[in-house]
Amino acid sequence: MNLTERISRHKEDLSRSDLKVAEYLTRMYPQGLLENATTLGRIIGVNSSTVTRFFRKIGYESIREARREVKDEVSFVMNSPVAKYQMADRA
């Protein structure tokens, strides 16, 4: 289950501030995860502890775990046979 699926699954359990975090991360996916909790909080207009708790509420141990998952997901897509074929076709 990826970040957007986790957000959808837990949406009803989220506070108003959590929903701000969820909306931003969904809109900025996957780039939104490049920032740390403090910077995300500043961008979104919530406390950094809200950002930290948000990730636990949707089933991650931390923001790092969410980043790892996105990194693996992006690597998989970029290294898939279809992606390699499309890149070779362009060359």
pLDDT by residue (tens digit) across 76-89?
656 667 666 666 66
In 1-91, DSSP assigns E strands to: none
Q: What is the pLDDT of residues 16-69, one digit of tens each?
A: 999 999 999 999 998 999 999 999 999 999 999 999 999 999 999 999 999 999
Answer whether 19's CB lies under 8 Å from 51's CB: no
pLDDT of residue 67: 92
Q: What's residue 21's pLDDT? A: 98
Residue 51 in contact with residue 2, Cβ under 8 Å?
A: no
Assign 28 to helix, strand or coil. coil
pTM for the model stands at 0.80
Q: Phi and psi at residue 60, in whole multiples of 5°?
A: -95, 155
* 3-class DSSP assignment, residue 72: helix
